[in-house]
Structure 1
Amino acid sequence: MTIAVRYSAARTLDTAPSHGSPPGPGEVELAPAYVGICGTDLHIFHGDMDARVQTPAVLGHEMSGRVVRVGPGIEGWQPGDAVTVMPLRWDATCPACRAGHQHICQHLDFIGIDSPGAMQQRWTVPAHTLIRLPDSLALDRAALVEPTAVAVHDVGRAGVRDGEKVVVVGGGPVGILIALVARAAGAEVRVAELSAHRRRLAEELGLTVWNPAEDDMPTLLREWTGEAGADVSFEVSGAAGGVDTAVDVLGVRGRLCLVAIHPRPREINLHRFFWRELTLVGARLYDRSDFEHAVALVADGTIPAERLISKVVPLTQAPAAFEALESGGDVMKILVDCTDASQGAAA
């Protein structure tokens, strides 16, 4: 018998026995090793996605683990293989899929939200979702491949080019990953973040950070860009003030990439879009090439995943970890150790 973490109602998580079944045709059974808790998981925990999530729901989609069993007809995978999962199941028939945009299928099953996720000791998924991990990559670090793939997709959607000036508004896990991926693409990057803990971590990673509450950002921006403004901004804060900042920092024909989930409509300065011929692009999820690039970035240390992991907790302590993240404080990324149902460890 194995254990799973289940969401049943707003702010209600528990751990319960789960009963696995043999993988069917086209499926693979995994033993998740580490599962990251992300902002979307917190939205579910708060009850914001109850209209979408069917309870009791097993959460988790940022993961690493190993193959346990393969279903009939599966080739190329065997027990013991180290993997992560691109948690997307599309229908291949809707207009988005037919246009080549399967990752935003109009009937998308986001595994871990719309169907059971990785926060359990055994997990069966379609074989096509598997992404191979190099044997040299530690599985705790590999749990950050999925959010890194988000950042890779975001930077690609924004069209970041070598030498461009980029402002990332919001220095949480995804914001920091976007900043690191953009820097690896040759951009000059600034991160705007209110939290002292997050600013300190970003600075330790070699990023230049602005505090919107205290710094004279207009002056800093003029000095940095020669009064031109930034080429690209990323809104990752999810706050109304973050939207304003992401618009205000852009120069003529700048591009704003919207990454954060905004649960309610926001006002936006459309006159500035008109006056400076700005562009707004949305960025959601990723495709296989984003995942493969993310694996390479984490494996070669371009993304220092170990620096972003604040804490590792056993599966049975996952509910308390959600509460810790909700309360804020000096945490960045918490991982759930699915191999350990009794004792946690500092990362």
Structure 2
Amino acid sequence: MTLAARYLSARTLDTAPALSAPPGPGEVELAPAYVGICGTDLHIFHGDMDAPVAVPAVLGHEMAGHVVRVGPDVENWAPGDAVTVMPLLWDDACAACRNGHQHICQHLDFIGIDSPGAMQQRWTVPASTLIRLPDSLPLDRAALVEPTAVAVHDVGRAEVRDGERVVVGGGPVGVLIALVARAAGADVRVVELSAHRRLLAEELGLTAWNPADDDVPVLVREWTGDAGADVAFEVLGVRGRLCLVAIHPRPREINLHRFFWRELTLVGARLYDRSDFERAVALVADGTVPAERMISKVVPLTQAPAAFEALEGGGDVMKILVDCTDDSDDARRAAV
């Protein structure tokens, strides 16, 4: 019996014992060490995603930990291996998969939303989802590989070019996008209302956007407010590109005349593929993405519900991690 953090209904989470099934053929059992709380998790917490979420639901898809056990037919993985998980399962049969876009499969199982996630002391997943981590990479920093993979994919979808100006928000994903875009040679500008997040962006060497700038070739939009939607479509320069990242719970009006008049481009960016994940591991491991600077707080698994409320309230937070480590002897052995 292990412990898990579970979503029960809008604004209601708990921690409770959970059964840990042994890994079957092609599966591995993991001991999650750290799990990040992301914006999608907050959407679930608010009750905005009750349709795909079967309650009680174990949340969490930003994680790092160790392999504990491997099931039959699993090769190249062993207890003690440091890993993160690319939390996507696809059917390989739909039109998206047949065209090589498995990450947006029409019947995608996003692990941590459509099926149980990582916010538990033991977690069984298909071995195909594992991404190996360098032994030198601390697991708390490695928990930010998944959102960094989002940023890598977003920068790729936006087709960011060397020397090009990119404007992005200053939240957790926005800062990661800014860091990845800067590594690609972009001239990055950050828009952020929170003084705490503006200061962090400044400490990371990111420059604030000046509204007087009228030449904005690329805008990567990961913020969701109504006012922000209006601004996003107005600030792009001629032939500018808007890469839309955020989840919008309801339809929004856009000024199509603006798109026509300036020959703008709108692209969506949803998730990532394995190459994005592997690039993200490298960026976090070599310090291009200083993940440790993004971590505002680490809380034990039993305090996960309070951590969701703290993030929802805003304030001086960027990223909160949930510590899922188990002090039992088998967990300690698996980590060495």
Q: Same fold (TM over 0.5)?
A: yes
Which position in structure 2 is the counterpart of 1:332? 318
Which position in structure 2 is the counterpart of 1:267? 253
1:57-106 deviations in whole A, cap 9, x for unaligned? 00000000000000101000000000000000001011110010000000
Matches within 5 A, 1:219-238: 219=212, 221-222=213-214, 229-238=215-224
User: Amino acid of the residue matched to residue 198 of structure 1?
Assistant: R
Q: How far apart, CA to CA, are the structure 1 residues paired with 2:41 and 2:114?
A: 12
1:1-50 deviations in whole A, cap 9, x for unaligned? 21000111111111111111110001000000000000000010111111
Matched, 1:53 2:53: yes
Matches within 5 A, 1:23-172: 23-168=23-168, 170-172=169-171
Q: How far did residue 248 of structure 1 move?
A: 2.0
Which position in structure 1 is the counterpart of 2:309? 323
For the residue of structure 1 that corresponds to 2:217, the secondary structure is strand
Which position in structure 1 is the counterpart of 2:176? 177
Which position in structure 1 is the counterpart of 2:229? 243
For the residue of structure 1 that corresponds to 2:141, the secondary structure is helix
Q: How far apart, CA to CA, are the structure 2 residues paired with 1:333 and 1:167?
A: 21
Gap runs ≥5 in structure 1: 211-215, 223-228, 342-347
Q: How far apart, CA to CA, are the structure 1 residues paired with 2:234 and 2:192?
A: 15
User: Amino acid of the residue matched to residue 2 of structure 1?
Assistant: T
For the residue of structure 2 that corresponds to 1:182, the secondary structure is helix
Runs of 4+ in 1 over 4 A off after TM superposition: none
For the residue of structure 2 that corresponds to 1:252, the secondary structure is coil
8 Å contact from structure 2 (residues 145, 284) kept in 1: yes
Q: How far apart, CA to CA, are the structure 1 residues paired with 2:6 and 2:256?
A: 42
Q: How far apart, CA to CA, are the structure 2 residues paired with 1:163 and 1:302?
A: 18
RMSD over aligned Cα atoms: 1.0
1:283-321 deviations in whole A, cap 9, x for unaligned? 001000000000000000000000000000000000000
**Paired residue total:** 327
8 Å contact from structure 1 (residues 315, 340) kept in 2: no
Q: How far apart, CA to CA, are the structure 2 residues paired with 1:46 and 1:243?
A: 21
| Higher RCO (CA-CA < 8 Å; seq separation 6+) | 2
Q: How far did residue 340 of structure 1 move?
A: 5.7
Q: How far apart, CA to CA, are the structure 1 residues paired with 2:326 and 2:233?
A: 45
Q: How far apart, CA to CA, are the structure 2 residues paired with 1:177 and 1:321?
A: 21
Q: How far apart, CA to CA, are the structure 2 residues paired with 1:118 and 1:190?
A: 34
8 Å contact from structure 2 (residues 121, 326) kept in 1: no
Q: How far apart, CA to CA, are the structure 2 residues paired with 1:193 and 1:271?
A: 27
Which position in structure 1 is the counterpart of 2:200? 201
1:203-259 deviations in whole A, cap 9, x for unaligned? 01000114xxxxx61x2x14xxxxxx1111011111122222222222211110001
8 Å contact from structure 2 (residues 36, 60) kept in 1: yes
8 Å contact from structure 1 (residues 88, 129) kept in 2: yes
User: Amino acid of the residue matched to residue 278 of structure 1?
Assistant: L
Q: How far did residue 188 of structure 1 move?
A: 0.1
**Closer/same/farther in 2, CA of residues 180 and 148 from structure 1, 3 Å limit:** same
8 Å contact from structure 1 (residues 167, 249) kept in 2: no
Which position in structure 2 is the counterpart of 1:282? 268
Q: How far apart, CA to CA, are the structure 1 residues paired with 2:9 and 2:21?
A: 26
8 Å contact from structure 1 (residues 103, 285) kept in 2: yes
Q: How far apart, CA to CA, are the structure 2 residues paired with 1:48 and 1:249?
A: 29
Q: How far apart, CA to CA, are the structure 2 residues paired with 1:270 and 1:255?
A: 14
Which range moves more in the overlay, 247-256 or 141-150? 247-256
8 Å contact from structure 1 (residues 59, 119) kept in 2: yes
Q: How far did residue 124 of structure 1 move?
A: 0.3
Q: How far apart, CA to CA, are the structure 2 residues paired with 1:42 and 1:321?
A: 11
Q: How far did residue 268 of structure 1 move?
A: 1.3
8 Å contact from structure 2 (residues 301, 322) kept in 1: yes
Which range moves more in the overlay, 245-254 or 60-69? 245-254
Which position in structure 2 is the counterpart of 1:225? none
TM-score, structure 2 as length reference: 0.96
1:126-165 deviations in whole A, cap 9, x for unaligned? 0000000000100000000000000000000000010111
8 Å contact from structure 1 (residues 25, 74) kept in 2: yes
Matched, 1:292 2:285: no
Which position in structure 2 is the counterpart of 1:345? none
Q: How far did residue 335 of structure 1 move?
A: 0.1
8 Å contact from structure 1 (residues 167, 246) kept in 2: no
**Closer/same/farther in 2, CA of residues 340 and 327 from structure 1, 3 Å limit:** farther
Matched, 1:302 2:301: no
User: Amino acid of the residue matched to residue 182 of structure 2?
Assistant: R
For the residue of structure 2 that corresponds to 1:274, the secondary structure is helix
